[in-house]
């Protein structure tokens, strides 16, 4: 099941205000969840992380919300960017984070982030969009 | 080769991954991230010894 509203036919004509940065697309869905979806082959560095977090805050309307980060198309991320995403500044912008992975390489990135960078927000890794959204709804 | 560079203390090298994201890419990705961690810890250690 694909819950990604940007990837499905929008039958109720709801419009999602999609923000596009150098590495990700970001939008707020009807559940109050922020989606941050990596572009194909994205290579995230610290400047991208800062831009993405600022854009998440803009898309969330200045409210701490659960965030679904879809890294299924991410190619790489630097240590500085990982540290930034795991840091206190980001903890002020979100209530929880679900990381969506698929390939062995993205699973490695997710697990590495969890074990080495130790995010301070409630954080879980998923391979199912449905399960990720279900878990995040508990933080709305 | 990546492994030999790491063993020699050269933490400026990185392995190239493909767009497949398969098991081989997972190993290279993990090695690249470990190199970054080693480099950062090494720099921290060098700094505290000065």
pLDDT tens for A22-36 read 999 999 999 999 999
Q: What is the pLDDT of residues B2-25, one digit of tens each?
A: 888 888 889 999 999 988 889 999
Domain A18-137, CATH number (from 3.30.2350.10, 1.10.760.10, 3.30.750.24, 3.40.50.2300):
3.30.750.24
CB atoms within 10 A of CB A134: 13
In contact, B38 and B6? CB cutoff 8 Å? yes
User: B9 or A76: whose pLDDT is higher?
Assistant: A76
| Average confidence score pLDDT of chain A | 90
CA dihedral B32, B11, B39, B17 (to 10 degrees): -10
Instruction: Give residue A10's pLDDT.
Output: 43
Question: From B15, which residue of chain A is nearest by alpha-carbon distance?
Answer: A76
Q: Over 70: is that where the pLDDT of A48 sits? A: yes
Question: Which of B12, B14, B17, B29 to mutate: most A Cβ within 10 Å?
Answer: B29
- For chain A, percent of residues with pLDDT exceeding 70: 89
Instruction: Give residue B6's pLDDT.
Output: 85
Q: Which pLDDT band, with edges at 50, 70 and 90, does A139 fall under?
A: very high
- For chain A, percent of residues with pLDDT exceeding 90: 79
CB atoms within 10 A of CB A81: 22
Q: Determine the straight-line distance between the first and last CA of chain B, rounded to whole angstroms.
A: 31
Q: Do A76 and B23 touch (CB under 8 A)?
A: no
Instruction: Give residue B48's pLDDT.
Output: 75
Nearest by CB: A109 against B19, B29, B40: B29
Nearest by CB: A104 against B19, B21, B37: B21
> What's the rounded Cα separation, in Å, for the pair A83 and A11?
39
Distance from CA of A78 to the nearest CA of B (A): 8
Instruction: Give residue A107's pLDDT.
Output: 96
How many contacts does A have with B, using Cβ atoms within 8 A? 42
Instruction: Give residue A12's pLDDT.
Output: 46
Question: From A82, which residue of chain B is nearest by alpha-carbon distance?
Answer: B33
The answer to whether the complex's ipTM is over 0.85 is: no
Q: Over 60: is that where the pLDDT of A7 sits? A: no
> What's the rounded Cα separation, in Å, for the pair A42 and A73?
7
pTM: 0.86
Q: Which pLDDT band, with edges at 50, 70 and 90, does A98 fall under?
A: very high
Instruction: Give residue B43's pLDDT.
Output: 87
Question: From A79, which residue of chain B is nearest by alpha-carbon distance?
Answer: B36
Closest alpha carbon to A35 in A13, A52, A50, A22: A52
Q: Over 80: is that where the pLDDT of A3 sits? A: no
Q: Do A41 and B21 touch (CB under 8 A)?
A: no
Q: Any chain B CB within 8 A of the CB of A109? A: yes
């Amino acid at each position: 099941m694909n819950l990604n509203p940007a990837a499905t036919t929008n039958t109720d004509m709801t419009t999602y205000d999609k923000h596009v940065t150098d590495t990700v697309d970001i939008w707020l869905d009807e559940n109050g969840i922020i989606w941050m979806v990596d572009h194909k082959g994205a290579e995230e560095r610290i400047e991208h992380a800062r831009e993405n977090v600022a854009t998440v805050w803009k898309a969330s309307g200045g409210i701490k919300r659960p965030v679904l980060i879809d890294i299924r198309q991410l190619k790489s991320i630097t240590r500085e960017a990982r540290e930034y995403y795991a840091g206190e500044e980001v903890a002020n912008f979100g209530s929880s984070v679900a990381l969506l992975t698929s390939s062995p390489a993205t699973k490695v990135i997710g697990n590495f982030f969890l074990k080495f960078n130790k995010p301070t927000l409630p954080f879980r890794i998923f391979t199912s969009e449905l399960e990720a959204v279900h878990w995040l709804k508990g933080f709305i | 080769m990546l492994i030999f560079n790491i063993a020699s203390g050269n933490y400026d090298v990185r392995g190239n991954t493909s767009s497949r994201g398969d098991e081989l890419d997972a190993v290279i990705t993990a090695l690249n991230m470990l190199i970054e961690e080693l480099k950062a810890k090494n720099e921290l250690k060098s700094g505290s010894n000065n």
